[in-house]
Amino acid sequence: MEAALSSQATEAPQATIGQRLAAAREARGWTIDYCAETLHLPRNVLRKLEADEHLGIDYAIYLRSYITNYGRLLGLSIEAEIPRVQASEPQLVSTGGVSRSRHLLERYARAATYVMFTAVIVVPVAWLGISGALDHNISHLDPLDAAPVAASVAASSEPAASTAQVADATASKPQPLNAPSVVAGVPGLAAAASSPAQPLMASIMPGLEDRSGPAASAAAPVAAPAAGNGVVGAGAHSLDVGLAQASWVEVTAADGKRLAYGLLPADSTKTFRSDQDLTVRIGNASGATVKLDGNPVALDAYRHANVARFRVAVQGGSASATGF
């Protein structure tokens, strides 16, 4: 039978390899599906081999391997004819192109877009961090533990008394309209009268915003501290504050009333009496001593950056100091 199949396949000497493969398969009565399943190849590949359509099949060694295996399955010896099979290369077809100028334009336009978006995000953030978020009034605020604050209070204690005396004397005597001002002969008063009033401000902590504005004064009444010793308020519990150095003192009751808010001079003692809880802040705490109902209060436990902050808690008829 093998001889008959070979003779049938070779009857047409001009038959191509594909025609010989198809004739051998039909002579055996095999279908394309059977051959494809046996060779583990797609059916369309075998159809192209039988039609001598090699375009679209893997080139060179793969195409020749397909033909060799298919011929062996069908009992054909076609190895000698395989070199005649030319694996046609598919022709490359240009589907479109971009000019060099357009390519460069798109490339640099994309980079410029990234730079622009980066600038839009980074520049406002940097500007806010440098100018918008900084407090321009911070130059007018001094920390309580700074030496210039204590020096300014000490230097201004004596001129304050002489200024008050001169003001009383001036008010008691009528002055003609064309008379020179009496403040011109008093040292320090001429400069104060010629320049606008500039309040002396200090902050509880360095960088803390000024709390002496209209909003702060409207929130709670402020009791101006006396220059010397004295007692402020009334109540069963007493808080004694002794200052060896000039210090900022703020004492606020639980109802929001401020018993003290300002700079107290050195060598002064203040007593605050109250039946309510008190919130106490003392600047330049290294030069201050505090007693609560006659018992000393250690400020070191409540001091941070030379500013002591504590709360006087009144409960059950007794008062105690706690931090906050």
Q: Which residues pair with 273 in a beta bridge?
A: 238
Confidence of residue 218 (pLDDT cuts 50, 70, 90): very low
Confidence of residue 308 (pLDDT cuts 50, 70, 90): very high
Q: Residue 301 in 3-state DSSP?
A: helix
Percent of the chain past pLDDT 70, that is, above it, reads 59
* Confidence (pLDDT) at 164: 46
Confidence of residue 155 (pLDDT cuts 50, 70, 90): low
If one compares 88 and 113, the residue with the highest pLDDT of the two is 113
* Confidence (pLDDT) at 161: 46
Q: Residue 202 in 3-state DSSP?
A: strand
d(C-alpha 296, C-alpha 4), whole Å: 127
Going from the C-alpha of 106 to that of each of 94, 111, 115, 117, 220, the distances in angstroms are 21, 9, 14, 17, 65
Residue 180 reports pLDDT greater than 80: no
> Closest by alpha carbon to 189, among 219, 163, 151?
163
How distant is the alpha carbon of residue 147 from its chain centre?
Answer: 36
Q: What is the mean pLDDT of residues 9-35?
A: 82
Residue 183 reports pLDDT greater than 60: no
> What confidence tens digit (pLDDT) does each residue in 243-262 have?
999 998 999 999 999 999 99
* Confidence (pLDDT) at 146: 52
d(C-alpha 250, C-alpha 26), whole Å: 112
b/e code 92-123 from CB counts within 10 Å (16+ = b): eeeeeeeeeeeeeeeeeeeeeeeeeeeeeeee
* Confidence (pLDDT) at 111: 92
Place of tokens 């004492």: 251
* Confidence (pLDDT) at 89: 56
| Contact indicator for 282, 240 with CB cutoff of 8 Å | no
> What confidence tens digit (pLDDT) does each residue in 224-239 have?
444 556 888 888 899 9
Which range in 23-32, 74-83, 96-105, 131-140 is most confidently predicted, on average pLDDT? 23-32
b/e code 224-255 from CB counts within 10 Å (16+ = b): ebeeeeeebbeeebbbbbebebbbbbbbbbee
Mean pLDDT (the chain) is 73
Tokens read off for 190: 């001429």
Confidence of residue 139 (pLDDT cuts 50, 70, 90): very low
- Domains of the chain (ranges; CATH) run 2-84 (1.10.260.40), 214-323 (no CATH)
Could you tell me where the DSSP H helices lie in the chain?
2-9, 17-28, 32-39, 43-50, 60-74, 100-127, 147-172, 189-194, 214-219
| Contact indicator for 305, 146 with CB cutoff of 8 Å | no
